[in-house]
Amino acid sequence: MKILTIESTCDETAAAVITDDLEVLSSVVASQDELHQRFAGVVPEIAARAHLERCLPVIDEAVRKAGIELSDIDAVAVANMPGLAGSLLVGVTAAKSLAWLLDKPLVGINHLQGHIYACQVAFKKPIFPCIGLIISGGHSTIYHCKSPFDFEPLGGTIDDAAGESFDKVASMLGLPYPGGPSLSKCALNGDPKKFSFPRPFLNDQSRLDFSFAGLKTAVRYEIAGPGAVDFKSLVIDDQRKADIAASFEQAVVDCLVGKTMLAMKKTGIERICVGGGVAANRRFRTALEEQVAAAGGELMIAPMHLCTDNAVLGAIAIEKIKAGLVDDLSLDAVPGLIRS
Ligand code: KG4
Ligand code: ZN
């Protein structure tokens, strides 16, 4: 089978063609970074309109690159949850129209579950059961992934997502959007021990939650103190900027790694799978690799190109098709996240 997968949950318009034995025939991603850059964050209305312009050309390119015709597609899959309502609607409507036109099965998938399943595509081996950590611009959640259809939330952020805190701290430091990559680059020249920023809940062994809003505020006070501040007019010397970036990054990494190790200990599950944009962070990858290896666990972190949003994560639809779990044209966009 050849499955066309469509992704439009946030600000990447993406399509891929994947076979039922998880061979990726094509993967096309149109990023909107340049549209949101001047706002230092994703503007939902701009994202939805850009999806509308890019969706069909991206699908066309994915089909062309796979070396097939649209009529060779055996099923159409789309991430219909969670995400920005307007953005989701574009992908869902395109997928429904195509499935109807081609008279092929339609499958809705959960974007977050897809981020974890990207590990199965990349490592070409079964990942279930596992502890799944999803760290992105909108989410930071730990799941007990029992099967491709059963993800039990164990904990997650009670406020900002990890990627969101990277984006906001980067903006305060005058670094370009998206903040994750630019902040990590800046942090390379910094001292991660220079500032001792808070690590919320890290020492609380009873919960698998994160909180990044207070950490972000602590960084803000270090940069500018309290009160109204025009961040654009602030002058921060390069070394201080790098030290703040490195110390902040280390605090986030300590929380993410600490809670993942706690999840492993609490559940006794030794296989960890990680996905989402923040999983591209080098300091995080190295720290988690070291700790999971020391604990004798098995770690699969999605490769860099599958960490940030893409349509290959729609491959989880193949599991649904094999189990007969297909949708009909009443499939709708479901923006909200189910929390633990
Ligand atoms: O998964 P993703 O592409 O989109 C969402 O579903 O949110 O994640 C985007 C997030 C952004 O907040 C971005 O700053 C962050 O991932 N990110 C990083 C890195 N690369 C991307 N954060 C830290 N370090 C990175 N290298
Ligand atoms: Zn994502």
- Is the CB–ligand 1 distance for residue 82 below 6 Å? no
| Cα separations in angstroms, 280 against 283, 284, 301, 309 | 9, 8, 9, 11
Q: Residue 338: is its pLDDT beyond 80? A: no
pLDDT digits (tens, 9 = 90+) for 141-195: 999 999 999 999 999 999 999 999 999 999 999 999 899 999 999 999 999 999 9
Ligand 1 atom at minimum distance from 309 CA:
3
pLDDT digits (tens, 9 = 90+) for 287-331: 999 999 999 999 999 999 999 999 999 999 999 999 999 999 999
Instruction: Return d(Cα 193, Cα 216) in angstroms, integer.
Output: 17
H/E run at residue 282 = helix 282-294
| Cα separations in angstroms, 230 against 217, 225, 240, 323 | 15, 12, 18, 55
- Is the CB–ligand 1 distance for residue 281 below 6 Å? yes
Percent of the chain with pLDDT over 70: 99
Q: Residue 226: is its pLDDT beyond 90? A: no
Nearest ligand (C-alpha, residue 277): 1
Helix/strand/coil for 36: helix
Q: Where are the beta strands (DSSP E) in 40-148?
A: 75-81, 106-110, 130-135, 140-147
pLDDT digits (tens, 9 = 90+) for 108-143: 999 999 999 999 999 999 999 999 999 999 999 999
Using pLDDT thresholds of 50, 70 and 90, give the confidence band for residue 232: confident
Atom 8 in ligand 1: which residue has the minimum CA distance?
Answer: 277
Return residues with CB closer than 5 A to ligand 2 (ion): 136, 309
